Amino acid sequence: MIFLGIREFGLLVLTWMAAANDRSVTEALRSWDGQWFLAIAEGGYSGVTEGLVDAFGNRSAETPLAFFPGYPAVVRWFAAIDGAGGIGLVTSAFTVTIASGVACAYALARLGRHINGGSRRTGLILVALFAASPMSVVLSMAYSEAMFCALAAWALVGVLERRWLLAGVFCAAAGLVRSTGAAVLLAVGLAVLVAVLRRRDGWRPWVGGLIAPVGLLGYLAWVGVRTGEWNGWFTLQERGWGTGFDGGLATVTFSLEALADARSVLEVTTVALIVVAIALLVIGFVRRVEWPLMVYAVGVLAMDLGANGLMNSKARLLVPAFTLLIPLALALAKRRPSTAVLTLCALTVASSWFGAYSITSWNYAI
């Protein structure tokens, strides 16, 4: 209820912002990458309309392969659940997104009880912080973030509970949804390695470790075969969206330029969120948050901040780094209920406006 309540408030703010900018709420919620996911869900990779192009206005037969198949596949399956007519792809996409968000909320609540110093209250606050994260609007869009976060969170639950088959299966599934599955694989893989070296839990870590990379490596290999290049997916990203790994040089350059001339609210806020994310990472290590959770956070941050390409997406790509919110959840859990509630309400209002602004007033992709 906490997750759904916060997201509903976000949608109310979005409705207001959309009306003020002469935008349709539904169109806003399926804009940008949402158009690609819906097109892939409808016609598969080979049936994507020619009107969809990459960031440079180009299009080839391989361009749609830049988008991972997990989310559109589930959207397509769910849309067909009622027979030939189905419920419609757009409705299906929103339903899958919302259901994924709820599933993620349950996993985060569980994580909150397992972490050092955690409790049921910590878990609920963690859920609220996730639902009110700055770009949580994507948790209501036809985007794959909500599904990925749910799978990643349950994989981490499996690690902390030493349920290695659960961790492996959810890690493999996450690898079919987003490239950030590499961060989940890193966390699960290292945890499995430690368990094996310490001879814990018998055969289960071995099996979980063998399952974990299947999704991500399988899809990257398939794209390699389709493109005729072993690094085909990475080539598509570089050629179509100018996205590669430069160690963070582009992010630093963008941040300095954005702060120098303050071109927009979105860009300046993005820089602020990057700084906050790095600070929370440091605090997480100081507070000794469980190392698999921190490894996952490091992986997500490294993939986001270390990549060049579309700088406007940096804030959105921080949404899966939900384990960074754990120190804040622990701190709020120790405060008076009124303090925690007021803080969460303030964050909800701010994030709801920022998310609505990004897809109704901001003119570029997020």
Phi and psi torsions of 230, nearest 5°:
-65, -30
Q: Give the model's pLDDT for residue 261.
A: 83
Q: Which domain holds residue 62?
A: 2-360
Taking 70 as the pLDDT cut, the residues of the chain under it are: 82-86
The predicted pLDDT at position 326 comes to 97
- Let me know if residue 365 belongs to a domain: no
Residue 86, domain member (yes or no)? yes
Whole-number Å distance between alpha carbons of 290 and 292 = 6
* 306 CB burial (10 A radius; 0-12, 13-18, 19+): middle
Length of the chain: 366
Residue 154 CA to residue 346 CA, distance in Å, equals 28
Q: What is the pLDDT of residue 20?
A: 92
Q: What is the pLDDT of residue 83?
A: 58
Which residues face 21 on adjacent strands? none
Q: Which of 152, 149, 126 is nearest to 139 (CA)?
A: 149
From residue 133, how far is each of 61, 164, 176, 246, 327 by CA, in Å? 36, 29, 24, 27, 14
**Is residue 58, in this structure, part of any structural domain at all?**
yes
Q: DSSP code of 321?
A: -
Reported as a single tens digit per residue, the pLDDT across 138-147 is 999 999 999 9
**pLDDT per position as a tens digit, 59-79:** 999 999 999 999 999 999 998
Give the pLDDT score at 81. 81
Spatial CA neighbour of 70 closest among 193, 164, 172, 208: 172
Q: What 3-state class would DSSP assign to 50?
A: coil
Strand-pairing partners, residue 307, are 245
Q: Please count the CA atoms within 13 angstroms of the CA of 277 that sit on its side-chain side.
A: 26
SS3 at position 134: coil
Domain assignment present for 366: no
Strand partners, 245: 307
- Within a domain: 170: yes
Tokens coding 289: 């948050």
Count of domains for the chain: 1
